[in-house]
Structure 1
Amino acid sequence: MTKHTILCVDDEIDNVDALERLFRRKYTVLKATSGKEALTVLDQNPGLLALIITDQRMPEMTGVEFLEKTLESHPETVRILLTGYTDLESVIMAVNKGQIFRYLTKPWDPVDLTNTVDHAIERFAIGQELKQKNAELAKALEELKSLDVAKSNFMILINHELKTPLTSILSFSSLLSESNLNDEDKLMVNRITRSAERLKNLVEDVLLIVRAETNQLKIDTQNIAFTQFDDIPKDLQNMLTQKQQTVVSKLEPIAVKADVRLIKQVMQRLIHNASKFGNESSEIHIESMKNGNNLRFIVSNKGPHLPSTVVEKITKPFYIDEDVMHHSTGTGLGLTICQSILKSHNSFLQFKNTGQGVMVYFDLALA
């Protein structure tokens, strides 16, 4: 194990030799008999210096003056001041200008001085360890930033490389569906079209999340009062019909600051979730109410409760819980997309189990 290096400075050579004998077994000891000589010794030994022990009263340069000169070249070095005088002015100068660790009076007690030096070296070692950890964290952060840029570039590539062939597939499948096909061929073309549409939606969903997480999601904020959410997509309307569910709205005509298109997308996905996991022949309630300087939007259904362990996970990308969420297919992106959109509006989803089902809500700032 490499010994830590300490520098002992005193205009009395006997004191310097005494300090060397006291510490040479545990540490590498450098010596000087004046502040000027000590600065020369530091120049000649450019390695890490753990500790400086210096006398205060020395000719030409005091201990505090010497320590002050070392601050720039050795900022991490720990400093101990020795003096035969205990005047308050020297103590204040030592603390303010010399940035000392301890102030000890002569004659020193060997046990007290040894313990003080050991504590000083320990402090230096901890400081070096923290410096190394900080450097490692900084390097890791830079690597994460590089990965983030790479992820964004990758998603841009996907945007082009996947959407281009998908457009061709959808265009030609549409042309095929208009052709004179037999029933079996029509079935295959329809399946191709549905799969291509699903892949297109998946690509767009992933890109939306990436844009939101990399602060590239464009927000067209305006003052808007959401009094109804009646533009329900066909697939969601079919689900509501099949499960004999009805949507009941009670929305306050109060304006909020929001991107209309994105918030409508959030509500559609929350209604979709409420329908999928809600009981058949039940009502899905959409409400809004003032909450301080915000307007709170609430979507609630009647159905099974969400365990707290699931609540912590379902807004994370690609989370699927077959036993609790009761679905056999899906990418688990719906709530993540909602969370990403709301993050761009300085909001987030919250969940609460009610007496008969689950309530999901979020806040938007009042206009």
Structure 2
Amino acid sequence: MQHTILCIDDEPDICDALERLFRKKYRVLKATSAREGLKILQNEKVTVIISDQRMPNMTGVQFLKESIKTHPEAVRILLTGFADIESVIDAINTGQIYRYVTKPWDPLDLTTAVGQAVERFELSAELKEKNKALSLALEELKTLDKAKDQFMILINHELKTPLTSLTSYMDILKETTLDDDQKKYLVRAQQATARLSDLISEVLELLAAETNQTPVKVRKTSLESVFDKTKELVAPLIPKTQKISYTGSDVRVIGDEEKLTRILSRLIHNAVRFGEKDEPIKVSAKEKKDHVEICVENTGSAMDEKTVNYILKPFNINEDIMHHSKGLGLGLSICQAQLRQHNSSLQFDFPDGKVRVHFSLPSA
């Protein structure tokens, strides 16, 4: 792309000298009056405008200020004598003037100034395009956020409402006289309905955390209370013979008690499902300098970084680890999303046949 320079000076010889200086590299337009220069600007795309300060009817600063109306993106350079410098400096921001060059100019200085002005124009144009792209991306994100909200409403109403009706009808059926086959089918239907309800709840919980629709209630929280509630929550989900030890219950952290309970419950449930059978699980809280590390440890197989990153993403299920387990692969994603609300994240270590999943929270 060849850039265009407009040179304005009431002395034709000066305009010709400027043309000779720049014509090898740029397309040069000339005007010997401000009026002629403004007329050219109405029909031409111009990158750099070079104007003399002392002209009849309109000064260079006044002309450059007027040029902003048609060419706000053009870069403006003012030619001036030493006697004009003080008055020009006072008015330089009025015309959005990039540089002023004193007469008589040094050809090298002036060509350097114009070259830098062209670079400035190109950078400004590139920035404008990137800002435009960012604005479009922002609008797309807003659309996606709106779609997420609508999706949550859809799940809540269009799926959970009929599911509630189904559950009610099955409860009524349970009270009627059924033969053995009918009872068996009813139990299967109830199990399938309960599983579907759990899956819908998990999707909603993940979306709520990712969109911050359920903000964290950050306060001083006793881990003793979190551990006690976690025990109650996981009890129906794990074998009665499963041994789980809790240490560090006297520690206090800054966090949302309800969300921390759900995070720990999911991590323990995962440890039971995917760890070595009948091996004990350790839940611990250790105070560091300014934070507390909360950890769930079980016996299990090590994973590489790629696998860890994979299973932390929603709907990703690693069959080698999960052994055809039922589910959508949302448990760890929900934990990660809720920890992000606490400015934390899940970390994985694999020391000597153990799996350590841990995260940190500020000390209270």
* TM-score scaled by length of structure 1: 0.83
2:315 aligned with 1:314, yes or no? no
Query: 1:1-367, aligned counterparts within 5 Å?
Result: 4-20=3-19, 23=22, 27-34=26-33, 36-37=34-35, 40-41=38-39, 45=42, 48-56=45-53, 63=60, 66-67=63-64, 70=67, 74-82=71-79, 99-100=97-98, 103=101, 106=104, 108-109=106-107, 117-118=114-115, 120-227=117-224, 228=227, 229-238=230-239, 241=240, 245-367=242-364
Contact 1:79 1:101 in 2 (8 A): yes
The 3-state SS of whatever aligns with 2:10 is coil
In structure 2, the residue corresponding to 1:100 is in which secondary structure? strand
Gaps of 5+ in 1: none
What is the CA distance between 1:212 and its match in structure 2?
1.7
Distance, in Å, in 1 between the alignment partners of 2:197 and 2:278 is 32
For 1:276-333, what per-residue CA distance to the aligned partner results, in whole angstroms no more than 9, with x for missing partners? Answer: 2211231111011223343321111111112111222322111111124444432110
Structure 1 distance, partners of 2:289, 2:70, is: 55
Distance 1:311 1:170 in 2: 37
Q: Report the more deviating stretch, 322-331 or 262-271.
A: 322-331
Letter paired with 1:236 = L
Q: What is the RMSD computed on CA atoms of the aligned residues?
A: 3.3
- Of 89-98 and 15-24, deviating more is 89-98
* CA 1:191–1:113: 2 relative to 1, 3 Å: same
CA contact (8 A) 1:94 1:100 kept: no
In 2 relative to 1, CA 32–93 (structure 1 residues): closer, same or farther, beyond 3 Å? farther
**TM-score under structure 2 length normalisation:** 0.84
Q: CA deviation at 1:199?
A: 0.9
- Unmatched 5+ residue regions in structure 2? none
Q: How many equivalent pairs are there?
A: 359
Distance 1:291 1:71 in 2: 60
More displaced 10-residue stretch of structure 1: 299-308 or 284-293: 284-293
